Amino acid sequence: MTMTSIIIPTYNRLGLLRSCVEAVRAHTGLPYEIIVIDNASTDGTDAYCRENKLTFISLPENRGFPAACNLGMQLASGDELLLLNNDVIVSRGWLAHLKNALYSAPDVGIVGPVTNYASGRQQIKVPYTDISGFHAEAERLSLRGPSEWIGTRRLVGLCFLFKRELMDTIGLLDERYSPGHYEDDDYCYRARLRGYRLLIAGNCLVHHEGSASFKEVYSSRLQELVERNRRIFMDKWHADPAEFI
């Protein structure tokens, strides 16, 4: 049985990280490891990681999402790697559903879930208003099976599962997009250029608070940052990322 390295970049918002880790531990029935990359939090994140025996790297400065993910990817020992935002909550069977989609064909390189909050095709309308409602809806969707796997040209990095083989083939995230935005679009594009397919696992629902840590730090210049990174993508690939949404 393969093992999955779950890499969680984080910056402050310890309550979110705690909820994320507790959900992973409660609802993951397959072999996994958690690696937390802490971008210089000042709220006791390092102490929490030590107390809960989590593998973690505590950075002396906030290096952003791509760099944190890359450190985790280099430390990971799993057969699959999963980038997970600290403001995501998972439900029962989540990893099994994602892995079933990932290994459904040799040319599937990256898989992501559906969620209540994301840009693009992964966002779906959800009926729940609290976490217990989320778990009930996740259970309902999980019964649908592989008929809900949808091919896509882009996946959002909030819960991003890929084979180690893919990382060995295309490398790490491009840190030119630091502190974040479009590094996931870039990774998806590179995967597709090498012949890999991407799937949305419509039978796996995760709850996403929505860029919580990122908004806390960069809210005043978020749109400026997004536009800058969009231009980086376009200059690099001579393509508009909007075409892939």
pLDDT at 219: 64
The pLDDT of residue 212: 56
Task: Report whether 33 contacts 76 (CB < 8 A).
Answer: yes
In the three-class reduction of DSSP (H, G, I as helix; E, B as strand; rest coil), residue 239 is classed as coil
Alpha carbon 81 to its chain's center: 10
Per-residue DSSP letter, 100: H
**Residue 192 phi/psi, 5° resolution?**
-65, -35
| Residue segments in the chain with a per-residue pLDDT below the cut of 50 | none
pLDDT of residue 141: 97
pLDDT for res 222: 86
CA atoms of 187 and 18, how far apart (whole Å): 28
What pTM, to 2 d.p., does this model score? 0.95
Across all residues in the chain, what is the average pLDDT? 95
Domain boundaries, given as residue ranges, for the chain: 4-244
| The predicted structure's pLDDT at residue 218 | 58
CATH superfamily for domain 4-244:
Spore Coat Polysaccharide Biosynthesis Protein SpsA; Chain A (3.90.550.10)
The pLDDT score that the predictor gives to residue 216 is: 57
